[in-house]
Chain A
C-alpha cells in the first residue's frame, strides 16, 4: 500500500481505479451469508440456541462487509467515522441490553 503511495502517479491511479471484482466478491459473500441464515431457519430441526448464535454471527459478518468494503470503513483515514459509528452502535447496544434487562430480569 505504501509502495503504491510512494510511486505516485500511474501506480496510484491504477490502484485507486479499482474494478468491480472486489465488490462482486463482497456481494457473493453476502449472498452466501444470507443463504446460510435463511436455509438454516427454513430447514428447521437445528438446536435453537445454536441457530440463534449462527444467525447473529451471519448478520454481524454481513454488516462488517457492508461497512468495511462498501462504505470503505476499512480503508485508511476513516478513524473518525469509525468512532462515530462505534459510538452509535455502543449506545444502540446499551439501549437494547438495558430495555431487555429492565423488562425481563
Chain B
C-alpha cells in the first residue's frame, strides 16, 4: 500500500512522503489516537455545556446573546481554511514546496481571521454586555467550551506557522512531510469540533434557548 512508487526516481520524494517511512506512518497513526482523545475532551465540555445551558441566572439566555451573522461568518472562514489545508496536502503530494507553503499560509491567515472574530465576539459580551465567565453557569460553560476551541485554533496557527518556517529551512522531506500532514489532520479536526459548536451552542441556542 505504501511501498515506494515504481516510477519514482532514486532520491526523489515519494508521492505520499508522509507515509514513506515507518516513523511517518506511526506519527499519523498516533495522531489518530490523539484525536480520539480530543473527541473525549470536547465531549465532556459539550456534556457540561448541555447540562448547564439553561442556568442563566440574571444574565441573558443563549437566544438573546448570540448573533447569527457573526457565527455564520466564523463558520465560513473555518470551512474555507479546511479546504485550503486540503489544497496544501495536495501540493505536498505533487512535491511542490512553494505551493504547499502558500496554501499553509492562507490557512494560517484564515485561522487568524477566525480567532480575531471570536475575540471580538467575547469582548462584545464581556465589555459591552458585562457578561463574563462568572455571570452564570451557562456563561462559564459557554466560555470554557468555545474558548477551548479557540485555544486549539491559536495552537494550530502557531504550529502551522512554525512548520512553514521549517519547510523553508529544511525543505520538503520524508521527515517534514509527516509533520505537515498531521497538522492538516489537526486543522480538519478543529473544523469538526466547530461544526458541533455552531450547531449545538449557537443554532440550537437560538432555537430552544
- Name the CB-closest residue of B to A19: B90
| A3 CB within 8 Å of chain B | no
Chain A residues contacting B207 (CB-CB under 8 Å) are: 41, 48, 51-52, 55
Within 8 A of B (CB), among A1-53: 8-10, 12-13, 16-20, 23-24, 27, 30-31, 34, 37-38, 41-42, 48, 51-52
Partner of B39, one of A12, A13, A85, A99: A85
Q: A55 vs B195: C-alpha distance in the bound complex, in angstroms?
A: 10
Asked if A96 and B199 sit within 8 Å, CB to CB, the answer is no
Could you tell me which residues of chain B, from 180 to 209, have a CB within 8 Å of some CB in chain A?
Answer: 185, 188-189, 191-192, 195-196, 198-200, 203-204, 206-208
- Chain B count of residues within 8 A CB distance of the other chain: 52
Chain A residues closer than 8 Å to B191, beta-carbon distance: 66
Contact A88 B90 (CB under 8 A): no
B9 interface residue (CB < 8 Å to A): no
B1-42 near A? 1/0 per residue, CB < 8 Å: 100011100000001100000000000010011011111101
Chain A CB count within 10 A is highest, among B80, B191, B195, B206, for B195
Known: A85-B32, A92-B39. A59 touches B51 (CB 8 A): no
* Residue among B87, B195, B204 making CB contact with A52, cutoff 8 Å: B204
* Shortest Cβ distance from B32 into A: residue: A81
Q: Does B176 contact A (CB under 8 A)?
A: no
Quick check: A59 and B195 within 8 Å, CB to CB? yes
A residues with CB within 8 A of B: 8-10, 12-13, 16-20, 23-24, 27, 30-31, 34, 37-38, 41-42, 48, 51-52, 55-56, 58-59, 62-63, 66-67, 70-71, 76-77, 80-81, 84-85, 87-89, 91-93, 95-96, 98-100, 103-104
